[in-house]
Amino acid sequence: MKTQTPKVALVTGASRGIGAAVARRLARDGFSVIVNYAQSAAPAEALVQEMEKSGGRAVAVKADVSRTEEVRRLFDAAETAFGGVDVLVNNAGIMRLASVAETDDASFERQVAINLKGTFNTLREAATRLRRGGRIVNFSSSVVGLLQPTYAVYAATKAGVEAMTSVFAKELRGRDITVNAIAPGPTATDLFLQGKAPEVVERLAKLAPLERLGQPEDIAAAVAFLAGPDSGWINGQVLRANGGII
């Protein structure tokens, strides 16, 4: 019997938080995984070792997704390690909350550079390099629906990601590749928890009818669906994974 070569998943921002949970889950589902990170080398390497111990195949690759050349080298590294890429999960992102009046240029530019241009950079590489039958999962956020004060710039970058998702799905006509976005609600990671008082976290956790925060594994399960065989007829869509908050 011919053994099937494992599919390859590239997860951006996989050193911590949701990205690390996605990498773990996809490794469990049989993917070889590229664990991308920008700064957190030690957690990324530890995650790779953990996945290898459980029988998975993984490599950690440093690349700032906002930099075109580094993203090109990230795909090069994936091809060198595992021969190609089947699944791209555009998880890397940052959030800097402030009213429009109080947002400085640096904060605006960094959020646009990582969340929007970072997603664009990997999509542009994927356009020519993702293998037939592949899957792309971009990261939006449920704040695109909630639209609360202080979220203007962050939500704008994620609305841009949603727009690119639908357009890119159409541009890949004929390649048998689906392009979808996931839009988590409040999820227990550094990005959400940092700088919030426990009462604020408690209040936000209770907003969803399921009355708890999302866990990275909740989001990873939804990403695994969009990255796997069962989502083959879902294309150009945004899946809100938020316990019913909106």
Residues that bind ligand NAP (CB under 6 A): 12-19, 36-40, 64-66, 91-95, 114, 118, 139, 141, 184, 186-187, 189-192
* Minimum gap (Å) between residue 65 Cβ and ligand NAP: 4
Choose between 2 and 49: whose C-beta lies nearer to ligand NAP.
49
Choose between 5 and 203: whose C-beta lies nearer to ligand NAP.
203
Which residue in 154, 205, 216, 218 is the catalytic one? Answer: 154
Contact present, 93 and 115 (Cβ < 8 Å)? yes
What is the rounded CA–CA span in Å between residue 204 and residue 217?
19
* Minimum gap (Å) between residue 114 Cβ and ligand NAP: 4
SS3 for the chain is CCCCCCCEEEECCCCCHHHHHHHHHHHHCCCEEEEEECCCHHHHHHHHHHHHHCCCCEEEEECCCCCHHHHHHHHHHHHHHHCCEEEEEECCCCCCCCCHHHCCHHHHHHHHHHHHHHHHHHHHHHHHHEEEEEEEEEECCCHHHHCCCCCHHHHHHHHHHHHHHHHHHHHCCCCCCEEEEEEECCECCHHHHCCCCHHHHHHHHCCCCCCCCECHHHHHHHHHHHHCHHHCCCCCCEEEECCCCC
* Minimum gap (Å) between residue 186 Cβ and ligand NAP: 5
Choose between 29 and 70: whose C-beta lies nearer to ligand NAP.
70
Choose between 133 and 145: whose C-beta lies nearer to ligand NAP.
145
Choose between 32 and 91: whose C-beta lies nearer to ligand NAP.
91
* 85-90 vs 8-11, strand pairing mode: parallel
* Minimum gap (Å) between residue 213 Cβ and ligand NAP: 8
- Is 151 known to be catalytic? no
Contact present, 202 and 145 (Cβ < 8 Å)? no
Which of 133, 141, 136, 132 lies closest to 124, judged by CA? 136
* Minimum gap (Å) between residue 161 Cβ and ligand NAP: 8
* Minimum gap (Å) between residue 21 Cβ and ligand NAP: 8
Choose between 133 and 221: whose C-beta lies nearer to ligand NAP.
221
* Positions marked active-site: 154
